Amino acid sequence: MAGERWHKDETILALHLYISNGRRYLKPELPEVTSHVAMLGSLGFPDRSADTISLKMKNFIWLDPGKSEKGLSHVGPHDAEIWKVYSASPDALKREVTRIKKAE
């Protein structure tokens, strides 16, 4: 459903996509993004478009202090919290991604 709020686990998966692809903006047509859309659907999360996933990358760019480019400041309720916990802990992020994929 368009406009549905992001779930915490869904945001963790998006952060993993952002970090594992060089902490950069990912265009909607990239295979990494279209694969992510399909993966979210297979895990039972709300329908997300490739454009929506790309916009989420811009939220993370805004939160990323190492980025000079502008992102989108309208972050979701979980974005800043998840960024704070996992952006500097790639091993913890990978464990959470594994947990999410196994649980769904």
For the chain, the domains span 48-104
Distance CA 18, CA 39 (A): 15
* Residue listed under structure tokens 């979980």: 78
pLDDT at 1: 45
Note the pLDDT of residue 2: 52
pLDDT tens digits along 69-92: 778 887 888 899 999 999 999 999
Query: 56 and 44 in contact (C-beta within 8 Å)?
Result: no
Q: What is the pLDDT of residues 16-68, one digit of tens each?
A: 999 999 999 999 999 999 999 999 999 999 889 999 999 999 999 999 998 77
List Cα–Cα distances, 15 to 53, 83, 103, in angstroms: 10, 8, 18
- Please, are residues 86 and 17 in contact by the beta-carbon 8 Å criterion? no
